[in-house]
């Protein structure tokens, strides 16, 4: 199961991120515009006042005090207070107040600065909220008097206050526009992801970044399909196998049942009864062999056939030849073993013994009576090879393709007669492969069948 980020949808995250970015940019831009426009306004006001002051001072140049007062009294500048201050700080003229009642202005910052620098501009916050007073002072040419012009200018807070309604309206529109744009962009970005078809991941048009994930999904999908196919095949094979096993068991049971009934009914007596008992015995042995082989196969299917170890395949072959010597003698078959003294193999010893046993047993049973069976062992760097050849009729190329199938027999009745279960070669193939080896069938130089088993050699031992 995937673990979704707590309460987070990609589209929601994207939308919020885009929206917040837009708002932040908007606030930053608005702030910058307001600050710049304020600075321009502020400088503009200062420059205008300084220009006005200089122009008015120029008008006063060369006039005496009385002429100056007369000139200033007739001058009216909108929203501008005019003050003329003498060198000692005495106020000679003031457009807004009675000059004679005013205190000395010598210590006023703008007056002092103008006296030393010629022209000065100062800003003082007024008692009245919402406005500041801007003072510009300059020396009047040809005299020690200083002309001062002052005007009230709105404070920044007031300036901003005036702007606010317009700012809010613009912000509201911008927020709405941001919401819409963020929504549209979110949709455009998420669509290629949301619209991926999990059934056809590689068909979907999507981002390069997502492609490895889609390739992996496709790979997993194919793997799953293959696994399902294998599972279905395994189920079918198992069902077939179960059917075959039941079928193989029926015939010996029928024979056993039939003869047992004859003995029970008393029809068979004496010699017959003993003969029938012998047949029952033979059939029950065939059933036991079948059960043994079925159990061996099912153990192999569960890959629980024993522990891997080092063992000598030559010794194993010798053990098998000794075990099968009585059977070979019965058919007058001679057994030969050629090869090195030892051949170390890495595998499961009991399983290897079963493999060699089944192959030699087949060679004796299916080979020629009074014939020969030859075992030949060779060692190479990678593996140990065992050839088992007989001089019987051999196996046709078509049958060679199928001999390793469960219950496949070239001649079913002959196989049964000789005590075969039809599972011997299936056990051989499964067993050899479970040890990492292989088995092949072909024509032997003796004229019969040749089975070649390769098992991994125990290198460096």
Would you count residue 387 as binding ligand ADP (CB under 6 A)? no
The CA radius of gyration of the chain, in Å to the nearest whole number, is: 57
What are the C-alpha distances in Å from 215 to residues 4, 61, 173, 208? Answer: 22, 91, 44, 11
Would you count residue 249 as binding ligand ADP (CB under 6 A)? no
CB of 405 to ligand ADP, least distance (A): 8
What are the C-alpha distances in Å from 209 to residues 4, 194, 206, 215? Answer: 19, 14, 8, 11
**Part in contact with ligand ADP (CB under 6 A); list of ranges 53-61, 89-97, 101-109, 421-429:** 421-429
Reading the block at residue 83, the tokens are: 């003050």
Would you count residue 114 as binding ligand ADP (CB under 6 A)? no
Would you count residue 444 as binding ligand ADP (CB under 6 A)? no
| Residue closer to ligand ADP (CB basis): 201 or 371 | 371
**Residue whose C-alpha is closest to residue 244's, from 304, 290, 292:** 290
- Name the strand (E) or helix (H) holding 135: strand 131-139
Would you count residue 392 as binding ligand ADP (CB under 6 A)? yes
| Residue closer to ligand ADP (CB basis): 178 or 444 | 444
Q: Which of residues 319-358 bind ligand ADP (CB under 6 A)?
A: 358
Binder of ligand ADP out of 18, 425, 432, 439 (CB under 6 A)? 425
3-state secondary structure of 207: coil
| Residue closer to ligand ADP (CB basis): 305 or 358 | 358
Helices and strands counted in the chain (H then E): 11, 12
| Residue closer to ligand ADP (CB basis): 27 or 338 | 338
| Residue closer to ligand ADP (CB basis): 67 or 440 | 440
Would you count residue 273 as binding ligand ADP (CB under 6 A)? no
# residues near ligand ADP by CB under 6 A: 23
Binder of ligand ADP out of 363, 377, 384, 439 (CB under 6 A)? 363
Q: Give 153's contacts (C-beta < 8 A, 6+ positions apart).
A: 42, 45, 123, 131, 132, 133, 134
**Residue whose C-alpha is closest to residue 393's, from 440, 348, 444, 352:** 444
Binder of ligand ADP out of 122, 348, 377, 449 (CB under 6 A)? 449
Do the beta carbons of residue 411 and residue 358 sit within 8 Å?
Answer: no
- Give the span between the Cα atoms of 146 and 141, in whole angstroms: 9
| Residue closer to ligand ADP (CB basis): 201 or 424 | 424
Would you count residue 367 as binding ligand ADP (CB under 6 A)? yes
| Residue closer to ligand ADP (CB basis): 356 or 363 | 363
- Give the span between the Cα atoms of 40 and 36, in whole angstroms: 6
CB of 350 to ligand ADP, least distance (A): 18
Would you count residue 85 as binding ligand ADP (CB under 6 A)? no
**Residue whose C-alpha is closest to residue 331's, from 410, 419, 443, 449:** 419
Binder of ligand ADP out of 134, 356, 360, 395 (CB under 6 A)? 395
Would you count residue 431 as binding ligand ADP (CB under 6 A)? no
Binder of ligand ADP out of 53, 354, 415, 452 (CB under 6 A)? 415
Would you count residue 94 as binding ligand ADP (CB under 6 A)? no
Sign of the C-alpha dihedral, residues 337, 436, 458, 297? negative
- Give the span between the Cα atoms of 461 and 312, in whole angstroms: 11
Q: How far is CA 306 from the centre of its chain?
A: 39
Residues that bind ligand ADP (CB under 6 A): 358, 362-363, 366-367, 390, 392, 395, 403, 408-411, 415, 420-426, 448-449
């Amino acid at each position: 199961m995937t673990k979704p980020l707590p309460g987070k949808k990609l589209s929601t995250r994207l939308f919020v991120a885009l929206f917040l970015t837009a708002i932040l940019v908007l606030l930053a831009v608005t702030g910058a515009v307001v600050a710049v426009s304020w600075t321009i306004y502020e400088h503009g006001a200062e420059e205008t006042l300084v220009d006005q002051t200089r122009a008015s001072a120029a008008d006063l140049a060369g006039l005496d005090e009385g002429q100056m007062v007369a000139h200033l009294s007739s001058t009216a500048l909108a929203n501008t207070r005019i003050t003329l201050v003498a060198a000692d700080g005495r106020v000679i003229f003031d457009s807004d107040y009675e000059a004679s009642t005013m205190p000395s202005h010598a210590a006023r910052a703008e007056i002092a600065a103008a006296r030393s620098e010629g022209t000065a501009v100062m800003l003082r916050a007024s008692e009245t909220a919402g406005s500041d007073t801007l003072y510009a002072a300059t020396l009047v040419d040809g005299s020690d008097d200083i002309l001062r012009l002052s005007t009230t200018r709105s404070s920044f807070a007031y300036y901003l206050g005036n702007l606010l309604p317009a700012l809010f309206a613009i912000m509201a529109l911008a927020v709405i526009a941001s919401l819409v744009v963020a929504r549209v962009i979110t949709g455009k970005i998420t669509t290629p992801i949301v619209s991926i078809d999990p059934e056809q991941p590689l068909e979907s048009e999507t981002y390069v970044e997502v492609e490895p994930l889609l390739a992996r999904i496709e790979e997993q999908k194919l793997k799953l399909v293959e696994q399902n196919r294998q599972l279905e095949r395994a189920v079918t094979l198992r069902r077939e196998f179960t059917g075959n096993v039941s079928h193989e068991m029926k015939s010996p049971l029928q024979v056993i049942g039939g003869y047992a009934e004859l003995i029970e009914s008393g029809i068979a007596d004496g010699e017959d009864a003993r003969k029938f008992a012998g047949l029952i015995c033979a059939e029950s042995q065939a059933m036991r062999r079948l059960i043994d082989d079925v159990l061996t196969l099912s153990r192999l299917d569960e890959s629980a056939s024993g522990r891997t170890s080092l063992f000598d395949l030559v010794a194993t072959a010798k053990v098998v030849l000794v075990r099968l010597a009585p059977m070979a003698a019965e058919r007058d078959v001679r057994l030969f073993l050629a090869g090195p003294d030892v051949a170390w193999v890495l595998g499961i010893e009991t399983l290897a013994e079963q493999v060699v046993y089944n192959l030699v047993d087949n060679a004796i049973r299916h080979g020629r009576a009074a014939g020969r069976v030859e075992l030949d062992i060779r060692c190479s760097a990678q593996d140990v090879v065992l050839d088992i050849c007989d001089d019987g009729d051999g196996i046709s190329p078509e049958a060679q393709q199928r001999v390793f199938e469960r219950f496949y027999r070239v001649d079913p009745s002959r196989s049964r007669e000789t005590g075969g279960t039809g599972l011997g070669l299936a056990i051989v193939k499964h067993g050899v492969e479970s040890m990492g080896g292989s088995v092949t069938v072909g024509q032997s130089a003796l004229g019969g069948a040749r089975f070649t088993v390769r098992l991994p050699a125990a290198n460096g031992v």
